Every structure is written in structure tokens, then in C-alpha cells.
Amino acid sequence: MSESSSRVIIDHQSQSIKRLYDRYAGMLLGYIFEVVKDRKLAEDYLVKIFSALSLQYENSGEEGFNNWCQLLKFAKTKLQQFYAVNGDEQIYHRKGLDLVAAVNPRLDRLNESQRRVFCEIYHHGKTISALSIALNTTEDLTRKTLKEAFLIMKSNG
């Protein structure tokens, strides 16, 4: 590929990302802020998400995203990866990254173990056996905790 044609591809990709940013950055920042509840952290994550998107464009050479739904799905994946990197739930809360509180206020009724089991299984897609190993508990105890969480969330109280 000649230098001029590679330059056209790079320019096209950067224009696509710029268009996405111009069109959706405000909405995405609002979404991220609702998730993390911290303006500075939300802005940092917005930059990281668009940087990762730019790298993905550059490395794959694909056309990429062109609408809000695709961008939001990508952002949610990246936010979950940021959570996975933080790992420890205490670090997660200390940095203001409460990924689920904005989605479901009923979670406030759960204790810490119930909330963690529910969120890991329901929101992050972990299996009961994998979560039991991670929490160093039995599968029966993890199932019981999940059932308790569902009962509390279903109740009107």
C-alpha cells in the first residue's frame, strides 16, 4: 500500500472517530457520570474509551462504529474491563465506580455479600461455580445468597 493510500485510511478513521465524538460524547459522558457519580472520573473514562476505540480502529482497519448503540455497547464493555482491572470491590467503591447503583436503586436494600453475588452473576455474567471459587465459599451458600438477594429485590419494602 502506498503512503498516500495509508494516509487516506488513517484520515478516514480519524474522521469517523471525530464524527462519533462530536455526535455522542455528551450523551456518553452523561451515561458514564450516572454510572460512576464522579465528574472527573467520568471524563477520564470518556477519554480512555475513545482512546481504546481509536486503537481498535487503527489495529483492525475495520470501518468501526457508526451509531449510539454500538458506541454504548463498546463503552459498557470498557467500563467493565476498568472494573475488572480494579478487581477488589473496596477499591472499586473507593474510586466511585459503582457500575450498578445507577441502574437499579433496589440494590441499596441488599447487604454487601448479597449485592456482590447478585451483581457478579446478573450484571457481569459470572457463573455460580466461578463466583464460589472467587469468594472462597460453597456453591450452595452462593445460591442461597443469590436467592435472598432476589427475594429482597422483589419485595415491595
User: Which range has the top average pLDDT, 2-11, 39-48, 97-106?
Assistant: 39-48
| CATH hierarchy code of domain 105-154 | 1.10.10.10
Specify the higher pLDDT residue, 75 or 57: 75
Q: Work out the end-to-end distance of the chain between its first and last CA atoms, rounded to an integer number of angstroms.
A: 65
Q: Which residue has the higher pLDDT, 96 or 155?
A: 155
| pLDDT band (50, 70, 90) for residue 5 | very low
DSSP characters over 86-152? H-SHHHHHHTT--TTTTT-GGGGGS-HHHHHHHIIIIIT---HHHHHHHHT--HHHHHHHHHHHHHH
What is the average pLDDT score of the chain?
75
Domain ranges in the chain are 3-86, 105-154
Residue 2: its pLDDT value, please?
A: 46
pLDDT (0 to 100) of residue 95: 44
Task: Provide the pLDDT confidence category of residue 155 given band limits of 50, 70 and 90.
Answer: confident
Percent of the chain with pLDDT over 90: 14
In the block, residue with C-alpha cell 443469590? 146
